[in-house]
Chains A and B, each alone.
Chain A
Amino acid sequence: ETGVTQTPRHLVMGMTNKKSLKCEQHLGHNAMYWYKQSAKKPLELMFVYNFKEQTENNSVPSRFSPECPNSSHLFLHLHTLQPEDSALYLCASSQEGGRNEKLFFGSGTQLSVL
């Protein structure tokens, strides 16, 4: 299934590095999301974009900066991260961004911050 693709699959970065995560969806959806998945914690919503506009920022630190140039692409720019930011970062999309919609997830980027 290649509806939502994320790159890279794995990323190791130092605390002073700047890197970006990329997500692309081929489903014609209008809403895209970034989730953080840490061990033994619930999936945490980070950002939501509807028709390229950010509609939700779930109190995410400014060292995470999202970008949505169009409805098919979503980026997460990372800078000066902390070791506790190590996690699996999942991108998802849905048709219109409504509460009762199925989420289609990408395979995630496993991030390790040293």
Chain B
Amino acid sequence: GENVEQHPSTLSVQEGDSAVIKCTYSDSASNYFPWYKQELGKRPQLIIDIRSNVGEKKDQRIAVTLNKTAKHFSLHITETQPEDSAVYFCAAPPKGSFQKLVFGTGTRLLVSP
């Protein structure tokens, strides 16, 4: 089955710095890689996703890159702001499963003003 590893588990940056969170996956057949953001006490929400036919996708200050050969994908946040502070989860669907997303363990990002 799929195994998704996420690093780092915690990340502290100063406001304005960039933040990078990386995930590796084991199933080479995985073709969809979403990122969810969960603010303290709130529900997880999809912030960006990428499919295996593209290498990079951007949406304002966030971007996701995918390296299919190395089987890893990363979330990049530029010009971080305090409201970016949250737990970020990556996920990937395993081969042979219609609906099951396997999530990473999460990265707690703290942006200090």
List chain A positions with a Cβ less than 8 A from chain B.
4, 31, 33, 40-43, 45, 48, 50, 55-56, 58, 90, 97-100, 102-103, 105-108
Contacts and interface: CB of A to CB of B under 8 A. Distances in A.
Given A100-B51, A103-B46, A105-B44, A31 B105 contact: no
Interface size grouping (class) on chain B: 20 to 34
8 contacts: A42-B105, A43-B103, A58-B100, A99-B31, A100-B51, A102-B49, A106-B43, A107-B42
Interface of B: 4, 31-32, 34, 36, 42-46, 49, 51, 89, 91, 93, 97-106
Give the secondary structure class of A's interface: loop
B98 A55 contact: yes
Contacts of A105: 43-45
A42 B100 contact: no
Contacts of A90: 43-44
A98 B98 contact: yes
Given A48-B100, A105-B43, A99 B106 contact: no
Contacts of A107: 42-43
Contacts of A42: 4, 89, 102-106
Contacts of A103: 34, 36, 44, 46, 101
Contacts of A4: 43
A40 B104 CA distance: 10
